[in-house]
Amino acid sequence: MQLRELLSSVETPLWAIIIGSIVAGIVLAKITLTLISVFKLFGEPSYIRLIRNSLSKPLYFFFPLLVLTISAGFYIEGRTDNSLSFNLLKSSLIIASAVTLSRVISVIEQISILKLGIDPTDSVSHRRLFTRIQFIRRFIVFVIGVLALALILLSFEKGRQFGVGLLTSAGILSVIIGFAAQKTLGNLLASVQVALAQPIKIGDTVVVENEVGSIEEINVTYVVVKLWDRRRLILPITYFIDTPFQNWTRNDNSLIAVVLLYLDYRTPVDALRQKLIELVSGHPNWDGDVCELHVTDTQAQQIVVRATMSVRSPSDSFALRSYVRENLISWLRDNHPESLPGTRVIR
């Protein structure tokens, strides 16, 4: 009360309050960053550097707005003509607070990843943990954004009326809002289910909509799949709950690469099998486990030969399959041309 009485008793120009508040806020931000730097003596210097780099800009906006809002609250007391300006100032403070808090959450995420030594490209367990940490960060940031928007709306009289109207409206508007809320709630519940059950993780190779790609982002309402040709397929997160899909790397990155050849009945299968083993044994993508060749079907004019090779990851599969297919065809063409498919005419 003494501070309020002091500010009310002194006729201070508005420009002086603004400048003084900004200067005081900058000083507070500088002191906060200096205190963070002091922790270098007790903690990991790289972590402290990360905190400073991430929070320096938000703090230089947050503290001046905080001090200016407090000072403006004392200044405009009893001046109803300045209520709109004060509400805009409070809204700016709410936005700055939300951004700063989101940066803090992001810093906690990055430090957790560094502290735990998580490498999303290393193993399934690392990708699983990385996905959970990233989802938690994005979910918290989403909640912060929703709360910030709600606080901004409540700062204005018309905003409060709009919120009440949304909650109490009837008829067609109620139905539309109800369906929209149901969809949003479904996405939120699906994102929680994906985070806990983890049918997909960052870096998983999946087959969706007849396309092969890898999971690049898992957001609260949608998932980004990076396709083999660098296109991005955006799918609602409920897709991975309601629709069957293939996940080639859910528990293990290894995969069986398959090559199908349609050949003549005169094909020397044993010699072809030995050539396959020779080719695969010298290729760096083979993991040394499975290398087999079988005749899997017989048709009227040809046989179906299937070559199977094990690889460490889906990215190795395409290169090995292409290499085996090209070299087996070249070997047959040069050494056993009668094995290539064709139409025979018997007189």
To the question of domain 134-252 being in CATH 2.30.30.60, the answer is: yes
Domain chopping of the chain, boundaries: 1-117, 134-252, 255-338
Domain spanning 255-338: CATH 3.30.70.100 = yes
Given this model, what pLDDT does residue 254 score?
84
Q: Would you list the DSSP string of 222-284?
A: EEEEEETTS-EEEEETTHHHHS--EETTSS---EEEEEEEEE-TT--HHHHHHHHHHHHHT-T
**Average pLDDT, whole number, for the chain?**
78
Write out pLDDT tens, residues 4-41.
555 455 455 666 667 777 777 788 878 877 777 666 55
Q: What is the pTM of this model?
A: 0.53
Say which residue, 64 or 305, is predicted with more confidence.
305
Residue 237: phi, psi to the nearest 5?
A: -65, -25
The single residue listed with the structure tokens 């270098």 is 40
CA-to-CA dists, residue 59 to 49, 110, 272, angstroms: 15, 19, 69
Q: What would the mean pLDDT of 340-347 be, rounded to a whole number? A: 72
pLDDT in tens, 239-298: 998 899 999 888 877 888 999 999 999 999 999 999 999 999 989 999 989 999 999 999
Residue where the block lists tokens 């808090």: 101
pLDDT in tens, 183-224: 666 777 777 788 778 889 888 889 999 998 999 888 878 899
Residue 173 confidence class, pLDDT cut points 50, 70, 90 = very low
